Every structure is written in structure tokens, then in C-alpha cells.
Amino acid sequence: MIVNIKKENINLYDDNFIPKDYLINELKNNPYSKILFLIKNNEIIGYIYYSVIYERVEINQIEIKLEKRNHGYGNLLIKELLKREKKDITLEVNENNYPAIKLYEKNNFIKKAVRKNYYNDEDGLLYERKYIIKNFTNK
Ligand SMILES: CC(C)(COP(=O)(O)OP(=O)(O)OC[C@H]1O[C@@H](n2cnc3c(N)ncnc32)[C@H](O)[C@@H]1OP(=O)(O)O)[C@@H](O)C(=O)NCCC(=O)NCCS
């Protein structure tokens, strides 16, 4: 089950990931922020936290519980985001984050730019997924 966390159902959240105070503050004060949680057997498996800024979406973070990684859950969350937000999407990822890069490229995100030393001595990669590509490839 994938649910959209809002102020009203924040109790679902169990503090495994981003600190709850930060989350509450984001949802209260940032009208652009959205968070989808993946829940299975009453357990939060992971979340995707993103911003919808007019005509585009920025993925701020996606995270799956350590012991649940590499089971397709990250892919489920990305697919749900694509279903809900029919817009161009951008994100920033560490050049050495192989699982994340695999997940994005598998979902038609394309590397657009390199931000030198964005993560101290490691580069950041800017990825983008054009909405038009989705229509084309998901037929
Ligand atoms: C990045 C992350 C969200 C991916 O979620 P996940 O549920 O583990 O990913 P999935 O199981 O859906 O796998 C997606 C693809 O990546 C591959 N993959 C995932 N983890 C992998 C690993 N450790 N080694 C090799 N490939 C891996 C999968 O094989 C799959 O590709 P395939 O379908 O071609 O086989 C997860 O690793 C995570 O929480 N990382 C820590 C937080 C993070 O770095 N977030 C990204 C910030 S930009």
C-alpha cells in the first residue's frame, strides 16, 4: 500500500527515516512538499519525498529500509510517483550511488549534468526524466 502522508495521518510515521519534527515542519510550512510511504503488513518499508514546483517535480530523497533493499520496493515507489505526477522530474545523485543510479536509469531518467565535488570529493549527477518520454516508452 502506498499512502500520501499529510499532517492528518502523521501518526503512521515511526521515525525510522527522516526525523519526525523535520517532516512535520515540511508538511506544515512547505506547500510544495509531498511524501509517499510504502507500507506492507503495517510496516513502513520506505518513502519517497519530493517537491512539486509548478510544472516540474524534484525528488529530494528516496529511501528503503536497509534490510528490504534490492527487492523492487524502490522501483515501486518511483512507478507510483510517475503515475501520480505527470511532469518532468529532476534529481541529484552521488556518482557512486550505484543502486540509485540503476533505479533511475531503469525508469528512463537521463544524466544531464555533472556537479563537480558536490558531495565533498565526489561528484553529483543531475538526472532528468521528461514526461514525454514516459508516454513514448510505456506504451
Ligand atoms: C536507492 C534505493 C532507494 C533503491 O531502492 P531498492 O528498493 O533497493 O531498489 P530496487 O530493488 O527497486 O532496485 C532497482 C534496480 O537497482 C538494482 N539494485 C538495487 N540495489 C542494488 C545493489 N545493491 N546492487 C546492484 N543492483 C542493485 C536492482 O537490481 C534493480 O535493477 P534491475 O531491476 O535491473 O535488477 C535504496 O538502495 C536506498 O534506500 N538507498 C539509500 C538511500 C539512497 O541512496 N537514496 C537515493 C538518493 S539519490
Confidence of residue 136 (pLDDT cuts 50, 70, 90): low
Q: Is 71 in the pocket of ligand 1 (CB under 6 A)?
A: yes
Give pLDDT tens digits for 38-62: 888 878 888 899 999 999 999 999 9
3-state secondary structure of 30: coil
List Cα–Cα distances, 114 to 17, 28, 102, 125, in angstroms: 28, 33, 17, 5
Give 56's strand partners: 53, 88
Q: In the chain, what are the domain boundaries?
A: 2-137
At 68 the pLDDT is 93
Report the top-level CATH class of 2-137: alpha beta
Q: Is 90 in the pocket of ligand 1 (CB under 6 A)?
A: no
SS3 content of the chain, % helix, strand, coil (to 5): 35, 40, 25
On the question of pLDDT at 112 being above 60, the answer is yes
Total residue count of the chain as it appears in this document: 139
Q: Which three cell numbers stand for residue 63?
A: 529511501
Averaged pLDDT of the chain: 86
At 13 the pLDDT is 63
Give pLDDT tens digits for 74-85: 999 999 999 999
**Residue to probe by mutation, ligand 1, list 69, 77, 97, most atoms within 8 Å of CB:** 69
Q: Is 120 in the pocket of ligand 1 (CB under 6 A)?
A: no
